[in-house]
Amino acid sequence: MLKAVVFDDEYIVLQGLRMMIDWNKYGIELAGTASDGLEALRLFKEVKADIVLTDIRMPGLTGLQVIEEIMKEAPETACIVFSGFNEVDYLKKAIRLGVVDYLEKPITLPMIEEVLLKTIKKIKEQKRIEQLEAEWEGTQQERLEKATMDLLLGHEGAIEKWREAFGDDASRVQAVTVLALSGDHTFLPDPDDYRIVTVRNGHERLGIVFHFTLHSEELIRRLLAFPNKLVIGSGRAVTALAEAPQSYGDAQHALKYGLFMEETGWIRFEDIGENTRLPRYLSELEKSIIFKIRTVDEGGLLGELEHFREELETQKLNPDVLESEVLKLIYLAQEVAKETGGDIHTIKEGGYFPQQEIRAIQTKEQLFDWLYVQMDLIMKWILRVRTTEKQGAAERACAYMESRFNQDITLQEVADHVGMNSTYFSLLFKEKVGKSYIKYLTYIRIEKAKELLLAGGKVAEVSEQVGYHSYRHFSELFKKQTGVSPGQYKESQ
């Protein structure tokens, strides 16, 4: 039901409109009346009326002043004014303010009923338009989200469908960066620099940044104003829409790394690296198996192998294809094992040649039993190498980082220095040091920054000296680590 209020300083007018009009007949509730402008404005704010009928002349605030305030607060309100003879100037101003109609006094019942019918029709039409617009916008947003997800998955014809859904700004896009989030997040808008499409794909929460200017670290930092408890993995920026799936895979990898390492904040794919020996495009099941091997999760690996077996049996593959799929999985496991830096052939005495062993298998049951044995061998070998051959790797890495903390060193560079794959190294480093590579490097830099600030260094200069080329980024990290800004720390000592 619509709500209406009536404002007039003449008691007889207020009473007449209250008693003479059957408001219910029009689907209207008369929510109140007022005889002066100040009381009228208070009443409107209290009841949030849809229709306002007001005299132009009232004490306190004039009817026009009341309407002006109402239009500022609720411009969709339908305002109708009562005017006396020779109030043309007032009426002109009322029209400029957006009143829907006006009535000259003396007011009659037919006049009121006619204007109410017109006003109700106009309100209903406006609400219908608003509903259609909301439905259209919802449909458009759904189309854009679906087209964007198809773009990330590399579906055929996805680029053209995305351009159509994205609209005129599609021609402005110069790069794409995919962000994978551990929870819901609202990004800060910046229509001049980028546009973000947020997508939920099952359990995944994604933010796809379409850059209107060339990708930069500072731009990403600005738009990632997120709570500390959130983890956001960012993929590499790609300049071709067809490469969006690559950034998507990068972002998934970075997020998974951040969650596993119990990191928070922004995790860049560039800081983590990847095993380039592994095929880039793997099924979700293959990725899960690799992750279980890499993290030495024996129970989890067994469950994933059961899923792998069920999937192959469902497909009813011929023996040659089935053998090929099993060998492929063992190959992937071997590549993960090589990340430790050990000699893979020492998995078994006399050398490890699964491609020869598999030829002696006669049945499907034997094949899968043999697969489980091979995976168990590889897992145990990884554990053995970790605990014997790489005890000093973390210490060497720490020394290397402490000697080069002011340079743009990456996880890959440090991993290469100690002779390990970057992913395996990051797991080992966290286990031995108690901090992730990123957190330890930040710790070294901030501790050195404290020394330089106490020695009289200027904040901007200290930022450069400890390896941060962005003064703003340095200040944010310093405050996060110490609770105060670099300037405040310097002054308080």
**Concatenated DSSP letters of 171-219:** GG--EEEEEEESS--PPPP-TTTEEEEEEEETTEEEEEEEESS---HHH
Element (H, E) at 266: strand 265-268
Whether residue 141 is contained in a domain is answered as no
Cα–Cα distances in angstroms (integers) from residue 29 to residues 5, 23, 51, in the given order: 9, 6, 10
Q: Please list the pLDDT of the chain residue by residue as tens digits (493 residues).
A: 899 999 998 888 888 888 888 898 889 999 999 999 999 999 999 998 999 999 888 888 888 899 889 988 888 899 988 877 566 666 677 777 778 887 888 888 888 888 889 888 888 888 887 776 656 655 778 888 888 998 998 888 899 989 988 988 899 999 999 999 888 777 766 667 788 898 888 788 899 999 888 655 566 666 565 555 788 888 888 999 999 999 998 888 888 777 766 677 788 887 766 554 445 556 788 888 888 887 778 888 888 889 888 888 777 666 777 888 888 888 888 888 877 766 777 788 778 888 888 888 878 888 889 999 999 888 888 887 777 655 677 888 888 999 988 888 888 888 888 877 776 777 778 878 888 888 899 999 999 999 998 888 888 899 889 988 877 888 888 888 888 888 888 887 6
Whether residue 8 is contained in a domain is answered as yes
Domain of residue 30, CATH code: 3.40.50.2300
Which of 388, 414, 434 finishes a domain?
A: 388
Same-domain check for residues 361 and 407: no
SS3 assignment, position 82: strand
Q: What per-residue confidence (pLDDT) applies to 416?
A: 82
**Chain CA centroid to CA 78, Å:** 39
Whether residue 138 is contained in a domain is answered as no
**In the numeric block, which tokens belong to residue 82?**
């009562």
Q: What per-residue confidence (pLDDT) applies to 282?
A: 62
**In the numeric block, which tokens belong to residue 210?**
């379409």
**Residue tagged 């411009």 (tokens):** 75
Strand intervals (E) in 22-109: 28-34, 51-55, 78-83, 101-104
C-alpha span between 214 and 163 (Å, rounded): 19
Q: What per-residue confidence (pLDDT) applies to 270?
A: 76
This prediction's pTM: 0.46
* Angle (nearest 5°) at CA 481 between 476 and 483: 80
Same-domain check for residues 214 and 330: no
C-alpha span between 387 and 368 (Å, rounded): 29
Whether residue 122 is contained in a domain is answered as no
Domain, as residue range, for 167: 146-271
Query: Is residue 452 within 8 Å of 406, Cβ to Cβ?
Result: no
- The total of other beta-carbon atoms located within 10 Å of residue 138's CB is 10
Q: How many domains does the chain have?
A: 4
Q: What per-residue confidence (pLDDT) applies to 137?
A: 53
Same-domain check for residues 103 and 12: yes
C-alpha span between 478 and 450 (Å, rounded): 9
Domain of residue 478, CATH code: 1.10.10.60
C-alpha span between 393 and 71 (Å, rounded): 70
Whether residue 137 is contained in a domain is answered as no
Same-domain check for residues 72 and 157: no
Same-domain check for residues 334 and 384: yes
Same-domain check for residues 293 and 240: no
Same-domain check for residues 412 and 371: no
Please provide the size of the chain in residues. 493
Exposure string for 310-341, b = 16+ CB within 10 A, e = fewer = eebeeeeeeeeebbebbeebbebbbbbbbbbb
Same-domain check for residues 432 and 372: no
C-alpha span between 429 and 159 (Å, rounded): 41
Q: What per-residue confidence (pLDDT) applies to 5?
A: 93
Strand partners, 414: none
